[in-house]
Amino acid sequence: MDQETAITEAKQLVGDEIAEQLDAKDWEGVAARAVTFDEARNRPGHPDWVPSYDPYWLAAEAVTRLAIRTVGTGGALEGFTSEGSTFKFSTGNLWAMASALRGMSPLSKLSGGLGVIQVDGTLSDYANTAGTSVRRAALLPGGQLVPGELDWT
């Protein structure tokens, strides 16, 4: 799925109240963390890879970005008003939402998830270092690293 389509679907997944709290630059930034295999099953970093994005992972990254921001706003973001009541999104609600969205992603079925790192404009593969956790790093089939602790040697 191309980036624009994935962003549109991710916005639908998180709902208007959350989607509107991120600007276009935010959405493009989190999209960079949601790359996936293309339709030909080429992995990111493969020379024939066509940029492809997972909308569930993208949505999870967007909500994670908002959860981090809530720490600086007293633990809650403005949500929406209905029938005279204002509802806020708490940090805990946002973390739970991000986790649920990641769990819905096909990428979560891989060895702990998927992600890549971009160095000098090139998607690159790295070997994982000992002791990395699913939260910090994961592997693609074949042992290529996803972000987290990197072995630069």
CB 74, CB 85: distance < 8 Å: no
Domain that holds residue 84: 3-109
Mean pLDDT of the chain: 74
pTM greater than the 0.85 cutoff? no
Residue range 2-22, pLDDT digits in tens = 999 999 999 999 998 889 889
Give the number of other Cβ atoms within 10 Å of residue 108's Cβ.
19
Cα 76 from Cα 32, distance rounded (Å): 26
Query: How many domains would you assign to the chain?
Result: 1
Confirm whether 25 is domain-assigned: yes
Residue 150 has pLDDT above 70, yes or no: no
Confirm whether 120 is domain-assigned: no
Confirm whether 145 is domain-assigned: no
Confirm whether 77 is domain-assigned: yes
Distances from the Cα of 105 to the Cα of 5, 47, 133, angstroms: 16, 24, 19
Confirm whether 125 is domain-assigned: no
CB 131, CB 138: distance < 8 Å: no
Q: Work out the average pLDDT over 15-41.
A: 90
AA letter at 71:
V
